[in-house]
Structure 1
Amino acid sequence: MTFSATTILVLALVAAFIITAGVWAYTTANRLDRLHVRSDQARHALDAALARRAVVGRAVATILAGLYDPALVEQARRLTALADRAERSNWRDRETVENQLAVALSGVDIGLLPPQLVAELADAEARVLIARRFHNDAVRDTLALRTRRPVRWLHLGGTAPLPTYFEIAERVTAAASTGLDVDTVRTSARVVLIDEADRMLLLRGCDPKVPDVPFWFTVGGGVNPGETLREAAIRELYEETGLTADSSHLRGPLWRRVAVFPFNGELIRSEELFFALRTKNFEVDPANLDYVERRSITGNKWCTPTDIAQLDHSGETVYPYHLDQLLAEAIAAADGAIDPEVRSIR
């Protein structure tokens, strides 16, 4: 049996179409799988942020109840009840309860709370806001692909349930529902500096107003007007360590962190972007510390993950949190040829 040239051409076109459709279906199914994983991770992160706010809410309630004012005791009782309900509610009912908790927290007179608890509450609210936006962005991207007709017709999404948006009220203030007045809002460029032994450089410091509570942190600081993130990172690196580096060698930003904290008598909201940089080990010799930095930076250390964990366990907090677990990611970024995708951390 022989085939004409036309038949062969038609068969070739059909085969090419089937192969193309198969490749498209395979890549689309893989992409959907990654989007579902991203949505699940974003939901877990949002759940963790909401859980932390509930814990801080109970701490606020404890302070209010200890003031022995009947109105405050009732307010504390309601806060505790809402925090408990928020933690026990299923995801379908969570929005309503979390909005009720947010309203209850917004009614708290923060002047009755210790400054550190005020900062904790503001930070918890800011993290909920960021986590909720990351979650809804992930849901949006998943639904945009999952609801396309060819994807639905071919059931490329499998049996995974469609993700849903999480809608809770957002305040426009940086401190969210606390009603807190933030003294300074800034963007910071930070550098995860890694030596040839895969150790990270950390600086030891303290709040000049609270010199007996030390903590550890990465190199970096606020971005000046007119500076890019990379320019600020290189400048801060030189000022705080004496190291001169090329901005093209920075990898990132790989992490984004939003923190609200008291420092030197002010309440600061800082959006921190982290770069990774590989370097040879060197002796830290600050080149240009300002007056506040000279009072607040007290030491430095090249740290392994074990060192970082030991510092945390000793009571000297390391920022960002879980930095011992994040170091491997920073090493991979520093040694990579391209900038990684930025993600949110605590």
Structure 2
Amino acid sequence: MIPTLITVLGLAVLIGPWLLSIANRLDRLHVRTDAAWAALDAALARRAVVTRALLDQGLSLVADRAESSPRVARESAENDLSRALGAVDRSSLPPALAAELADAEQRVVLARRVHNDAVRDTLVQRRRRVVRWLKLSGTAPQPSYFEIAEPVEEVAAAAITPRPSARIVLTDASGRVLLFQGHDPARPQELFWFTVGGGVEQGESLPDAALREAFEETGLSLSPDQLVGPVWRRRAVFSFDGETFDAEEWFFHAAVDAHEVDTSGFNAVELATVKQYRWWSAADLSSTEDTIYPRQLAEFLPSLVDGSWDGRIRTVR
């Protein structure tokens, strides 16, 4: 009994300081993330102020909506403002105002990068087994990346390319959804998970695009009657490999009993940016600290799996 107690106390003496150092580092990372968000919020607010200085009523309304949006809707609202500013003829503005707007936009870019770097480092620490098992993160909320399109050029907002896409919420007999993990070539450190699917080609219908993407990305030959929907619609502005897209994503649902994923149909970009795939349950999605798109996948997945979808196309984030 006494030798066992001594052993336990010895382990506590050795492990205690190590665990304390991990907890302290995690606390500092959360503080860093909070400070980075405050700086980003300030940069976004300044962009809104400069936008209102353009004295355009439509732009002012968009800026007001972005500035007043809650955190969960902020990305979409700020991207709406980015889209609106992208249509502004900078040559018609007074030089001083054009320069101030460009400066405000670039400060947003820099603040976003600092924020997302802080989020990345915090998530890496929170994902460590010892942190998860011993719940060393305490009650601190999980930080999340702020996805806002970045200007391609230094002095103007990016040209935005419309990109309609068809995606499939592909589930197996256990109700798990297939997701791929990948990254933007310009930001390989920011990993995220996403559903099967991709851009709609010229002259292609949404169902045809969904079926083609499913075959190219998974090797699965689905028939048109296996597609349900579209069930969801998502609008997002994002940057990928230096190009900015205004994506309108239409989600279908398809259920299969089982399938061995075959990624041999990946194109060069997918081969370079997709790291792995995994089947996720709704419980897995709800508990993970990984970045998932769409963000509401865990919330709406059960209604597809149990067949309770009411036929309405829902807007998801």
* TM-score of the aligned structures, taking structure 2 as reference length: 0.56
Q: CA deviation at 1:213?
A: 1.5
Q: CA deviation at 1:235?
A: 0.5
CA distance in 1, matches of 2:164, 2:212: 14
Match for residue 131 of structure 2? none
Asked if residue 62 in structure 1 is aligned to residue 43 in structure 2, the reply is: yes
Match for residue 303 of structure 2? 329
Unpaired segments of 5 or more residues in structure 1?
1-55, 66-71, 89-97, 124-178
**CA distance 1:83–1:269, shift in 2 (3 Å):** closer
- Amino acid across the alignment from 2:185: P
> Contact 2:168 / 2:254 at 8 angstroms: preserved in 1?
yes
Q: How many percent of aligned residue pairs carry the same amino acid?
A: 34
Large movers: runs of 4+ above 4 Å: 81-88, 115-123
- Amino acid across the alignment from 1:111: Q
- Amino acid across the alignment from 1:226: G
Q: CA deviation at 1:323?
A: 1.1
CA distance in 1, matches of 2:274, 2:229: 25
Q: Which residue of 218, 223, 226 corresponds with 2:200?
A: 223
Match for residue 164 of structure 1? none
3-state secondary structure, aligned to 2:261: coil
3-state secondary structure, aligned to 1:282: coil
> Contact 2:183 / 2:189 at 8 angstroms: preserved in 1?
yes
Match for residue 315 of structure 2? 344
Match for residue 281 of structure 1? 258
- Amino acid across the alignment from 1:345: V
**CA distance 1:63–1:275, shift in 2 (3 Å):** closer
CA distance in 2, matches of 1:344, 1:58: 30
Deviations 1:137-177 (A, max 9, x none): xxxxxxxxxxxxxxxxxxxxxxxxxxxxxxxxxxxxxxxxx
CA distance in 1, matches of 2:225, 2:271: 29
**1:284-303 equivalence runs, <5 A:** 284-303=261-280
- Amino acid across the alignment from 2:311: P
CA RMSD of aligned residues (A): 4.0
Asked if residue 189 in structure 1 is aligned to residue 166 in structure 2, the reply is: yes
3-state secondary structure, aligned to 2:234: strand
Deviations 1:262-302 (A, max 9, x none): 11111111100000001022221114111111111111111
Match for residue 18 of structure 2? none
CA distance in 2, matches of 1:321, 1:116: 22
* TM-score of the aligned structures, taking structure 1 as reference length: 0.52
Match for residue 220 of structure 2? 243
Match for residue 113 of structure 1? 108
CA distance in 2, matches of 1:83, 1:245: 42
**CA distance 1:59–1:230, shift in 2 (3 Å):** same
> Contact 2:238 / 2:245 at 8 angstroms: preserved in 1?
yes
- Amino acid across the alignment from 1:113: V
**1:237-276 equivalence runs, <5 A:** 237-276=214-253
CA distance in 2, matches of 1:233, 1:86: 36
- Amino acid across the alignment from 1:331: V
